[in-house]
Structure 1
Amino acid sequence: MIKLRDVCRHVRSKQAGPFWITFDIFFNGRENFERYSDCAALSPGQFARLYGTDPEQVKRVAVPDLEMVKISYPRATPQGGMVERDMHAGQQYVRLLDVMVE
């Protein structure tokens, strides 16, 4: 089985304002982009399971020219709140690295 980390050159997460978190998934070449960018592992349902969000709220945009996919979802609580554990959302991508894409 192939993990997302094996077909990407860079995966990052970051804040997208105080109410959203976004992921940038850069594939390692055109072939990997075309093969895996639309896989079930990167579906709204998978993000809902991984990050505890509503799949209807997950936004997904493929950017073929950059061989990347951008996926965003709303934060459970606003950035900087009392229960905030990752203020800039820079650690959220880690659990995606071991997701099986094939």
Structure 2
Amino acid sequence: MTTLLHYCALVRSKNAGPFTLTFDFMCHDEDSYKALVATGFLNKQLFATLFNTDPDKILLVNHPLALAVKVSLPRPVVQGSLADTDCYAGQQYAPLMDMEVVPA
């Protein structure tokens, strides 16, 4: 089974302010980057489904010079609210780690 760790040296999630969640997928090398992007695995619909949000509110940017993909979306709850279970958003990437990366 191929996972994100096959392509990425670093996968992380974090806050981009109290209302936005962001993900960084930093690839091992140029070949890994090109292969990951070619799969189409990292797409707006995936994040819309996982985080129950509108795909039109998701920003997905490929950064070929940095060998990285960045995804930003509205946080499910505002940072620091009573319903916030991950104040720094550092654990939001975890569900992606066990998913099989297959071409779209």
Shared fold (TM-score greater than 0.5)? yes
- Give me the TM-score of the superposition, normalised by structure 1: 0.92
Q: Which amino acid aligns with 2:95?
A: R
Counterparts of 1:65-80 in structure 2, within 5 Å, are 65-80=65-80
Deviating more after overlay: 30-39 vs 65-74: 30-39
Name the structure with the higher helix share.
1
What is the DSSP-based 3-state SS (H/G/I as helix, E as strand, rest coil) of the residue aligned with 2:32? helix
- How many residue pairs align between the two structures? 102
- Work out the CA distance in 1 between the residues paired with 2:8 and 2:61: 16
Give the corresponding residue for 2:6: 6
Structure 2, gaps ≥5 residues long: none
Q: Which amino acid aligns with 2:41?
A: A
Give the corresponding residue for 1:60: 60
- Runs (4 or more) in structure 1 with deviation over 6 Å come to none
Percent identity over the alignment is: 38
Superposed displacement of residue 39, structure 1: 3.0
What is the DSSP-based 3-state SS (H/G/I as helix, E as strand, rest coil) of the residue aligned with 2:86? coil
Distance 1:38 1:60, change over 3 A: farther
Q: Which amino acid aligns with 2:76?
A: A
Structure 1, gaps ≥5 residues long: none
Give the corresponding residue for 1:99: 99
- Work out the CA distance in 1 between the residues paired with 2:38 and 2:19: 25
Cα RMSD after superposing both structures? 1.2
- Work out the CA distance in 2 between the residues paired with 1:8 and 1:36: 9
Superposed displacement of residue 38, structure 1: 4.6
Give the corresponding residue for 1:40: 40
Q: Which amino acid aligns with 2:27?
A: F
- Give me the TM-score of the superposition, normalised by structure 2: 0.91
What is the DSSP-based 3-state SS (H/G/I as helix, E as strand, rest coil) of the residue aligned with 1:82? coil
